[in-house]
Chain A
Amino acid sequence: MKHLIDIKDLSTQEIEDLIKVAEDIIKNKEKYSEKCKGKKLATLFYEPSTRTRLSFEAAMLELGGNVLGFSSAQTSSAAKGESISDTVKVIGGYADIIVIRHPKEGSALVASMKSDVPIINAGDGGHNHPTQTLTDLITIQMEKCRLSNLNIGICGDLKFGRTVHSLITAMSRYKNIKFYLISPKELKIPDYIKTNILEKNNISYIETKDIEEYLGDLDILYMTRVQKERFFNEDDYIRLKDYYILNKEKLKKAKEDLCIMHPLPRVNEIAVDVDEDKRAAYFKQAKYGKYIRMALILKLLEIE
């Protein structure tokens, strides 16, 4: 039995296969509409994340399966102090596959160690969120038709943003990738990502404070939001949150086929006037996320 706890659990081949299946689902939706008939997916959300939960639930429903679960710790057995290990043991008796989101780092791994059914990590604190990374990868593949030979700009909170760290880790497997890491000095990429991932894999990267400096070189611009909960100090948050805003005016410098991504929800880092630009891919990205989750559910349930 396989789980998905960390994007590193998947080989390059497995990721490629998942993307292929997702592409096939997009083309032949009817073919998949009863694949999970009679199967149940449980969503154990110890902290609310409506977007991620609905994406999983929609994925399972579109496969003809059913969903059950809870969406906050207050309404769950966790409020009574039940351990994760016990909870997954119990829920594994009701459901065929479990999606877990929990504020503590390593929680999904603990769940997988005790579970009798496949576990999907839908975010364990600031640690891993592999289906977000799969969503990013399928978006790049769909929009650029390749996962290699890309100049990728990543902008915003590069220090705490786990989606950014996983994306860099995942993309470092592909050939001829160059990263442009755009952030204020307070939110620069951590050294261990530079040494353990980028430098170790001989990947070239540029660090800059200026969003416009290399905009014309980019094939992909991945925008992230600066999260308030990462700051101890309100003033720092207010000062930094508006540091980088992408708007129509700035985009004049960008390539015609740039692909603009964002894990959503956005605050104000992408101006709404960008939404109608054909280069904006972030709403499509959310949609691709559902399809890659469908492919993942099929894989983990070992349904052809």
Chain B
Amino acid sequence: MNIDSIKNGYVIDHIKPGKSLEIYEYLNLGNLDTQVAIIKNAKSKKTGKKDIIKIDELLDINIDILGYLDPNITINKIQNDKIVEKFHPQLPERLINIVKCKNPRCITSIEQNLPQICELTDRKNAIYRCKYCEEKVQKPE
């Protein structure tokens, strides 16, 4: 795989340096046959350093979650060697089974087979609350 040129796929750019592996995990890229390149500590004009992930296929990836993890990420969608779309991911309305509620008094701490649902209650400040106990959930650092 030539990491500079992708014919069809995604370039996930401007990832906070050191965070690419985490995003790789969240997107479940480890379970794919597709070629994936992780570039760590690439030079960035804006922030000095950044990570980049390149995916050599136009998969149906859960982009919303990137909005939650880091809204500064840029996603480039590439088709036939051209960038056809370039965007920042939006904060999703709901996170399902992505973050765990840490409130020890919450029903999620004991009820089995209960999906972990968090809802966006304040878009401006990117605040999510557990659907069950309404406690704020902390963003992974």
Partner of A104, one of B109, B113, B131, B134: B109
Given A105-B133, A106-B130: A84 and B105 interface contact (C-beta under 8 Å): no
Q: Verify B111–A109 contact, CB threshold 8 A.
A: no
In residues 58-116 of chain B, which contact A (Cβ within 8 Å)? 103, 105-114
Least Cβ distance of B134 to chain A in Å?
7
Interface string of B121-132 (1 = CB under 8 A from A): 000000000111
Q: Verify A105–B103 contact, CB threshold 8 A.
A: yes
Of the four ranges (under 10, 10 to 19, 20 to 34, 35 or more), the interface on chain A belongs to: 10 to 19
In residues 11-59 of chain B, which contact A (Cβ within 8 Å)? none
Given A105-B107, A126-B105: A110 and B113 interface contact (C-beta under 8 Å): no
CB of A107 within 8 A of chain B?
Answer: yes
Q: Verify B111–A105 contact, CB threshold 8 A.
A: no
Least Cβ distance of B8 to chain A in Å?
41
Partner of B111, one of A103, A110, A126, A127: A110
Chain B: CB-nearest residue to A127: B133
Least Cβ distance of B83 to chain A in Å?
41
Given A109-B131, A109-B132: A104 and B106 interface contact (C-beta under 8 Å): yes
Partner of B105, one of A83, A85, A109, A125: A125
Q: Verify B107–A110 contact, CB threshold 8 A.
A: yes
Given A84-B107, A125-B105: A106 and B133 interface contact (C-beta under 8 Å): yes
Residues of chain A with a CB closer than 8 A to B134's CB: 105-106, 127
A-B CB contact pairs (8 Å), 18 listed: A83-B112, A84-B107, A85-B111, A104-B109, A104-B111, A105-B103, A105-B105, A105-B106, A105-B107, A106-B107, A106-B132, A106-B133, A106-B134, A107-B111, A109-B132, A110-B111, A110-B114, A124-B107
Chain A residues with a Cβ under 8 A of chain B: 83-85, 102-107, 109-110, 124-127
Chain B residues with a Cβ under 8 A of chain A: 103, 105-114, 130-135
